[in-house]
Every structure is written in structure tokens, then in C-alpha cells.
Amino acid sequence: MNAPVLVDIRDRIATLTLNRPDKLNALNYETVDLLLRTLDELESDPGVRVLIVTGAGDRAFSAGADIREFSESVRQGTAAAVRDFVRRGQRMTARMESYRKPIIAAVNGYAFGGGCEITEAVPLAIASDRALFAKPEIRLGMPPTFGGTQRLSRLSGRKRSLHLLLTGERFSAERALEVGLVNAVVPHDDLLPAARDLATCIASQSPLAVTAILTAVTRGLNLAIDEGLQVESEQFASLVPSRDLREGIDAWIERREPAFPGC
């Protein structure tokens, strides 16, 4: 129970809990490394179709990178700071962004700095009405480094993200919904049930089609439209020989529910 990331697998849904509640689930190197290893394991686990990420305790999703720890890397100089702090954090958010299974952030409290960047990187997010977001790095005299200067602008537009990045001000779950950072805001006690409902719905779909859609949308967003259409076409082409596509079409023709076997 002392591991910095807890994993609970039920009904094809893996719930990952960031577990340093006395530090508001700050992302120290050990947490990031364990998160990356856990993602590796779950990606190839056929018993898991959807992941939920949330925070332990009743205060925080995550208050961001562990400032005390990365300040030591900064003290060691540029090479150590970039290698140990920046690259590690960017690896984590990039992995979540391009993960082959959907990850839903269930934002249960503070999502500051790296906690906000995880929310930006994952494909889906639901926030408790008690969640509070911020891009506070500016107050430490630095830009965000886990993708926070890149993904929020793509989600919400340049001016909205620059306002949040340059002021560091806190913003509510409702504001996060308005700027496109989360899909929904729900009463605090409904957060995990709402995340599980969404996960259950997606877990019943064809896992191959889910991965194809995640890949096409996420890759396509950073491409010109004609290249994005090529990715879309390739994703479809890769499914043509699959049992999932045959089953989905046959089930529609035979007027029955499809049963998708999985990867």
C-alpha cells in the first residue's frame, strides 16, 4: 500500500492511483518511473481495455512535479536538470498521450503543474466539482516542462492558454470544461462512478477500433489535414482483415449486439 502508484484491475478497467497523499501526490521521480513501468505492463495486458488515473486522498489529483526533488537536479546544472527532470516528465505525458488504450483522468482535487499536464495529455478527463487547476510554474520562474506549453494551447487556443501560463492563476473545474481541458464536471462523490461508467462504455467497444481512433485523432492533430487523412486511411486498412470489423458489421446486419474478442 506504500507504492507511489496503486493499481486496481476490475471488469477490464485498471484504476491507477497516484499515492503520495501527504505530499498532495507530487510527482517525484520514483512515481513517474513506476507510472511508466505500469503503463508498459498494462498496455500488453489483454485483460485491461481502459485505464483511469486518479489521486489518493481527498485533496489532490497531483500538485505537480516534486519541487524539492527537481530543485536538486537544477542545482546540478543544465544537463542533469534536462535529463532527470524534463525528459522524464515529457516521457510520461507523451506516453499517456499516445497510449494504445484510452486513459481517463478522474481529477479529484488540485491538478497543478504536472497534474494539469497529465490532464492535458490523456485523451479523456472528468473533473470533480472540487477540482482546482493551475499552471503555477511561472511563479517558480520557469515554464512548464511536461508538455504544458504545447498541449494546452492546442486544446484551448493560444490566448486562453497564454493567460493561464503567464498568470499562474488557479481555475475551476467549470473553467477547465470551458477551455476544453476536461470532458465533464460532476459532483465530487460521483467522480469515480462517472469515470467507470465512461470506461465501461468504451471497454465494450472493439479494442482494435478504439486504438485506431485514438491513433488517428492524436497523430492527426499534429499533422496537416491530408497527412491526417492518410493516417485515418491506414488505421482503417489495418482493421480490414480483423475479426472485430467482421463481427461489428455482421452483428449490425444480423440485428444483434456485437461481441468483440479483444486484441
User: Nearer Cβ to ligand COA, position 9 or 140?
Assistant: 140
CA 252 to chain centroid: 32
**If we measure between CA atoms, which residue out of 101, 118, 100 comes closest to residue 110?**
118
| List 11, 40, 47, 68, residue binding ligand COA (CB under 6 A) | 68
Q: Tell which positions 118-137 bind ligand COA, by CB under 6 A.
A: 136-137
Indicate the residue among 59 and 163 with the shorter CB distance to ligand COA. 59
Contacting ligand COA (CB under 6 A), which of 9, 36, 67, 155? Answer: 67
CB of 154 to ligand COA, least distance (A): 20
Least distance to ligand COA, CB of residue 255, Å? 53
Tell me whether residue 163 or residue 219 sits nearer to ligand COA (CB atom): 163
Nearest to 117 by CA among 140, 154, 162, 151: 151
Give the amino acid at 263: C
At closest approach, how far in Å is the CB of 173 from ligand COA? 15
With the C-alpha atoms ordered 181, 187, 189, 193, is the resulting torsion angle positive or negative? negative
Tell me whether residue 232 is one of the annotated catalytic residues.
Answer: no
Active site residue 117: yes
- Per rule CB under 6 A, is residue 24 in the interface with ligand COA? yes
Phi, psi of 18, deg, nearest 5: -70, 125
Say how far apart CA 114 and CA 134 lie, in whole Å: 10
Strands ordered across the beta sheet of 60-62:
60-62, 110-112, 132-134, 171-172
Binding site for ligand COA (CB under 6 A): 23-24, 26, 63-68, 110, 112-113, 136-137, 140
As annotated, the active-site residues are 117, 137
